[in-house]
Structure 1
Amino acid sequence: MKEVKFSTYNKELIPVNQKIFSSKNRAFRYGDGLFETMRSAHHEVQLINQHTIRLLSSMRLLKMEIPFGFNAAGIHQEIKRLLSVNKIFGAARIRLSVFRNDGGLYTPKSNTPSFLIECEPVQNEHFKINEKGLNVDIFTDHKKAKTVLSNIKSINCLPLILAGIYKKENQLDDVLICNTEGNIIEGLSSNLFIVKDDIIITPPLSDACVGGIMRNEIIQICKKEKLALLEQSITQEDILKSSEIFLTNAIKGIQWISAFRDKRYLNTIPKILVRKLNEKVFN
């Protein structure tokens, strides 16, 4: 894989190993920030408008100031410049981190933000379904609270880090996250869909799942293709009674689950959806 040499910090190109933070950095001290993960191919960022809308909405929720000109066109231009400098011409994963500037304790001195854009190449230019299905289980040690903050991509990710450790310790491919009511709401870094009685079901945002860009795209595709879809809470019993389960995110698109404990699943609907997704995004 190609070595990445540069990142972008507040529109300035910097070497990836250059130190840019002090010990007073609010992202380091308080987890005071958020991030957006995007995917590009040939310097075109997929679903850039949707990513920007979510990012700006999350910044407003966190009471961060939005700089003049910080919009989809400006973000896209900065990403293109970074990809070009790093000579990444195929597919890439982009992370845009936003954090409040230094100053203050729990009460910030100001609400002005800084921005860091990082990139790395990925293999597939189009979305491709996993050949081998994922083996998953449920992580119940820590649960997400049902608040609007649970819908954003916060850099404060301790529960998910612990879930990732659980996944590694139990030799799983992914884990399913629960909310405080015990409903299953998402994967480690993805939204959750199940197929039960020929109906596609995904948890509502009110259940505390992240407001995923790919989640919304799949919902729109299902509506266009007239596939039966419901947004409703999912229980462990629903998981066990489902015929298919899959996860979605902006980088991998759709990943199907083949096993939950002793239960096995099909992948008919994920195959259909990944084809429709590629048609929508790349045509």
Structure 2
Amino acid sequence: MINFNGKLHANAAILSLENRGYKYGDALFETIKVINGKPLFWEDHYFRLMASMRILRMEIPMGFTMEFLESEILKTLEANSLDQKIARVRITVDRGEGGNYLPISKQINFSISSSLLNESKYVINEVIKCEVDLFKDFFINEGLLSNLKTNNKITNILGSIYAQENDLDNCLLLNNSKNVVECLNGNIFLVHGNIIKTPPLTDGCLKGIMRQQLIGLLNKNEKFTLDESSISTFELQKADELFYTNVIKGIVPITHYRKKTYKTQIAQELLGNLNTKIGT
């Protein structure tokens, strides 16, 4: 069942060809992990969505409160018998229908879909390798729009195809300055000694929710020094560890980059801290 503007539909084919999210990518989305009806980091997701809507000059409906959208998430989960399970939820907002580049109305649609997940606790499978390389065909623009989770993800799509064609598990995306920005599906962190680096938002990386959570943990951890600065491709060979983050998987260690093999101890430690914080 799909929730479209508060009404449940058994058929997902409810958008017209004139929908602006479909025609122009004029849409935003949030991907949320929900455990037994409780959305993780819901406040952070909600405020990121509202801030992103403002940046895209979307007129936020008066009823778009945190409580309303959370209740719509729960309604969707219950309709799919996922309210007492582990689920992946996607909320999409778009600017409705009509117009060319210029919208003709201030209408806002929202849709909510859900699917089953297997793991409630964030875990690292030490048996599974994660081999990456650089995706250099296209680059991420530096600037505010790249921080947003919009429907315009063509670079990530092409990078995913490239990874599949080259037997890679993921790819590292570069910005116009040829610095490492992120992975295809998460924010990147590099460990060298007790310094943990992650690119600043000004480099064009996604303003990730798990990135925000991990930065908060690192700022309280005297063992490590957080460094939000650009990561050059030359640093990849010198790093002790490399991992990426997203809200569905938590922390995912990268094990191989070209001829370099990375450790995973710090990633394991930080993941334990994260699970303790969320109480799983």
TM interval, short-chain normalised: over 0.9
Task: Supply the distance in 2 between the matched residues of 1:133 and 1:73 (Cα, whole angstroms).
Answer: 40
SS of structure 1 residue aligned to 2:242: strand
1:245 to 236, 242, 245: 242
Gaps of 5+ in 1: 1-5
Task: Give the match for residue 199 of structure 2.
Answer: 203
1:54 to 41, 48, 66: 48
Q: Does 1:30 align with 2:24?
A: yes
Matches within 5 A, 1:75-224: 75-88=69-82, 89-131=84-126, 132-224=128-220
Q: By how many angstroms is 1:95 displaced?
A: 0.6
Q: TM-score, structure 1 length as denominator? A: 0.96
* CA deviation map 1:224-248 (0-9, x unaligned): 1222110000011111100000000
Q: TM-score, structure 2 length as denominator? A: 0.97
Q: By how many angstroms is 1:281 displaced?
A: 1.4
Q: Is the contact made by 1:38 and 1:250 (CA closer than 8 Å) also made in structure 2?
A: yes
Q: Is the contact made by 1:196 and 1:238 (CA closer than 8 Å) also made in structure 2?
A: no
Task: Give the match for residue 3 of structure 1.
Answer: none
Gaps of 5+ in 2: none
Q: By how many angstroms is 1:82 displaced?
A: 1.1
Task: Supply the distance in 2 between the matched residues of 1:154 and 1:217 (Cα, whole angstroms).
Answer: 21
SS of structure 2 residue aligned to 1:120: strand
* CA deviation map 1:18-71 (0-9, x unaligned): 421111111111111111000010000000000001000000011111111212
Q: Return structure 1 stretches of 4+ with deviation > 3 angstroms.
A: none
Q: Is the contact made by 1:130 and 1:256 (CA closer than 8 Å) also made in structure 2?
A: no
SS of structure 2 residue aligned to 1:92: strand
Task: Supply the distance in 1 between the matched residues of 2:268 and 2:12 (Cα, whole angstroms).
Answer: 43
SS of structure 2 residue aligned to 1:230: strand
Q: By how many angstroms is 1:197 displaced?
A: 2.9
**Number of aligned positions between the proteins:** 277
- Root-mean-square deviation (CA, aligned residues, Å) is 1.0
Task: Supply the distance in 1 between the matched residues of 2:125 and 2:245 (Cα, whole angstroms).
Answer: 12
Task: Give the match for residue 67 of structure 2.
Answer: 73
Letter in 1 for 2:81: K
Q: By how many angstroms is 1:273 displaced?
A: 0.8
Task: Supply the distance in 1 between the matched residues of 2:42 and 2:12 (Cα, whole angstroms).
Answer: 28
* CA deviation map 1:1-27 (0-9, x unaligned): xxxxx0100011111x34211111111
